[in-house]
Structure 1
Amino acid sequence: MSPVPELDEDDLDAIAPPHLVFHVEQALLGALLLDPHRLGDVTGIAAASFSTAAHAALYTAISTLPPPDPAEHAKNTKWLDHVLTAARKQTRGLTASYLHTLVQVCPWAHHAPAYARMIEAEHARRRLHSAAERLIQATHDASLPHPIQTVLAEADALAAVVDDIASRFPPRAGVLPRTPAPPAAIAPDHTEAVEEEQLLLATATAHPADIDSVRWLLPDDLTLPLHAGLWQCLTTLARRGEPVDPVTVLWEAQQRGLLNDGSEPREVIRLLAEPAGSLDYWGERTLQRSLLATADQAGHHIEAYAGDPANTPFQLVVGARRSLADIAAIRTRWQHATGPMPTRRPRPPPPTRAGPPTTTTAAVAHTARAARATR
């Protein structure tokens, strides 16, 4: 469960947030103050569901104090005084006049379940936004000793939030999010990535027999279009069983139009002629970088969906699951790349074919027949 918002004594009506849910919260709290017995009709929310500390404190007080006798409550404000005293233990800035304001702004007390549903939906949006932010932060945290494990754990936590929202809100028609994809962030410095991808391509060119061991690496995992195209050339030549060297790869690249961007053939040959290290190592490095980039992009997409109040909770679920599917796909390839190698069963020896007779009698008969044939 999300933590209760931080307390702020000035967190009241005078500085109301611009979000519509603030007014919905006021309507619900007013309904419960006016008719405390309607608390039994309110489900799906808790103190942490409210957007301000003052509202969270009031809801906690209302939901924990015994409800008053309806007849007595209609005659005096004794129960309201108890609510105010209990809520002030968490938020000192609350006043009796604010409680009266809440009662006055509530349109209809019997609409309390609808108000609660709106608050639950907005809380779901905030939870999803926060989980997406944590995923994005993890992808950029250079201090993590095991970045992939941390990022995947955050992705799992985000998926759990999505599943919880899906269980609370049934599907409806028109589920696709209307929010456009966010613009690309400032391009990071890919200097290290470019250098490692060049070593990957050169090592694969020098050792084409090893390409089959990194089948989990796809062209889209490489950062530069030229590098992605060259990797596709290498895998294609290796799959066909054709000769692989810098010249044959360059020719394949020309056939695919990869040199139309102005790449110099001499530079491409030089790039492919300087191998170093292990192909598996450079492949894992490239895949790790691609996984982090995929998680970062998915996080930004989900963050944009959650930041758009026009999206319903189920639209958020659909959009988030689509983005999380991209992480799941590359996660599977990462597990294939880094998991234990499967134990290969020894192949059974080929069946023995029937050969010519080897007994002495058969050999003598064969010699006799050969002698007769020469007569």
Structure 2
Amino acid sequence: MPHTPEPDDGLDSTAPPPPVFHVEQALLGALLLDPHRADDVSGIAADSFSTAAHAALYNAIITLPRPDPAAHARSTEWLDRVLATAREQTRGLTAAYVHALVQVCPWPSHARAYARMVEAEHARRRLRTAAGRLVRTVRDPSLPHPVPTALTEADALAAVVDDIAHRFPPRAGVLPRTTTPPPVAREHAEAGEEEQLLLAAATAYPTGIDSVRWLLADDFTVPLHAGLWHCLTALARRQEPVDPVTVLWEAQQRGLLDNGSEPGEVLRMLAEPAGSIEHWSEHVLERSLLDVAEHTGQRIEAYAGDPANTPFQLVIGARRALVDIAAVRTRWQHATGATPPQRRRPAPTTRAGPPTTRAAHAARATGATR
């Protein structure tokens, strides 16, 4: 079995390299052996590679003038120039590694297929990075206006999904089989109190409930509070009297007190209004939006972290997940009157031409690009 060369670029030598590492080696070996094949490779750039050494070598290969094929077959002059150019970015490269890449390439004629694999893995990394940024943004306690910032990151994530869909048009709707994490019931320091104040305000001023129809019971973090909101909206819809006692009775009819909730505590909570329904409803909805955004980012991170998922599956799974943000975002815009400009989908940044596979061409021809 041939030895797999590994560049000295600071990687942990104890961890076995992932499959894409070997794919990158095969692609680089093909291009080093037959430099003219770089003209047939599209959809990737230097940052598409998983290591700095491979990125530097690819950048050198595509920037240096092509050697004469006959001269290249007899001399290592062009390989030496590639090595010298790559060393300007990654000093750990050796001539032995460059020559070993040529030896480990199975079929130089498969360079285009290797490039497609590198492109697919780069798409996975891009998606995972964008989803991670969304999750970190939601969790950042220092942001003065977390919702607009989180929505900006959600738009950036959606743009990455769109670009991947352009490169890998989705096939028949095969969802990722990855097990995604369930929504995390995080304890918010102020959520419970704000929800209680909202319920009390709605009990005291039930005519205002109709003005916050964009608020749903699912937006509450405490199950009892969500159930009481159901009670309040039901009583208001039926135009029945609303006060702490009638809400408590409705809660009993719905089985909300079966979990041990004390009737007296419920009455006291509903009898202490402070502030307006609209004010506290917006607070509850904003927190719900952030929770949905965090869970969406976690789902997409899980999809992108599973190497068994194809780019087609990643696109479908990510778009399904982003629907949840879109739904709560629409309600948030209704609540706050915020209507940001519609997101423009950017054109691909590195692909110079149309998708490189026949399947992709066929998908574009039938309009199945989403």
TM over 0.5, shorter chain: yes
CA distance in 2, matches of 1:69, 1:203: 81
Aligned to 1:318: 316
Q: In structure 2, the residue corresponding to 1:48 is in which secondary structure?
A: helix
Q: In structure 2, the residue corresponding to 1:275 is in which secondary structure?
A: coil
Aligned to 2:346: none
Q: Which has the higher contact order (CA 8 A, sep 6+)?
A: 2
For the 8 Å contact 1:181–1:304, the answer to whether it is kept is yes
Structure 1's 137 and 325: CA in aligned 2 closer, same or farther, altered over 3 A?
same
CA distance in 2, matches of 1:285, 1:201: 13
Aligned length: 333
CA distance in 1, matches of 2:296, 2:244: 36
The alpha-carbon deviation at position 146 of structure 1 amounts to: 1.2
From 277, 282, 292, the counterpart of 2:275: 277
Identity of aligned residues (%): 74
Kindly provide the amino acid, as one letter, of the partner of residue 122 in structure 1. E
Q: From the CA coordinates, give the structure whose radius of gyration is larger.
A: 1
Aligned to 1:225: 223
Aligned to 1:4: none
For the 8 Å contact 1:138–1:150, the answer to whether it is kept is yes
For the 8 Å contact 2:27–2:111, the answer to whether it is kept is yes
Kindly provide the amino acid, as one letter, of the partner of residue 95 in structure 1. T
CA distance in 2, matches of 1:120, 1:288: 37
**TM-score normalised over the length of structure 2:** 0.87
Between stretches 259-268 and 47-56, larger displacement belongs to: 259-268
Aligned to 2:160: 161
Aligned to 1:78: 77
Kindly provide the amino acid, as one letter, of the partner of residue 260 in structure 2. G
Unaligned 5+ segments in structure 2 are 1-6, 340-370
Kindly provide the amino acid, as one letter, of the partner of residue 148 in structure 1. V
From 181, 186, 189, the counterpart of 2:187: 189
**Residues 1:150 and 2:149 are matched in the alignment:** yes
**Residues 1:102 and 2:101 are matched in the alignment:** yes
CA distance in 1, matches of 2:201, 2:232: 11
For the 8 Å contact 2:175–2:313, the answer to whether it is kept is yes
CA distance in 2, matches of 1:249, 1:93: 72
| Superposed CA RMSD | 1.7
**Residues 1:248 and 2:241 are matched in the alignment:** no
Aligned to 1:346: none
**Residues 1:120 and 2:122 are matched in the alignment:** no
TM-superposition CA deviations, 1:9-44 (whole Å, max 9, x none): 634796775211000000000000000000011010
Q: In structure 1, the residue corresponding to 2:190 is in which secondary structure?
A: helix
The alpha-carbon deviation at position 190 of structure 1 amounts to: 2.7
The alpha-carbon deviation at position 103 of structure 1 amounts to: 0.4
The alpha-carbon deviation at position 181 of structure 1 amounts to: 1.3
Unaligned 5+ segments in structure 1 are 1-7, 342-375
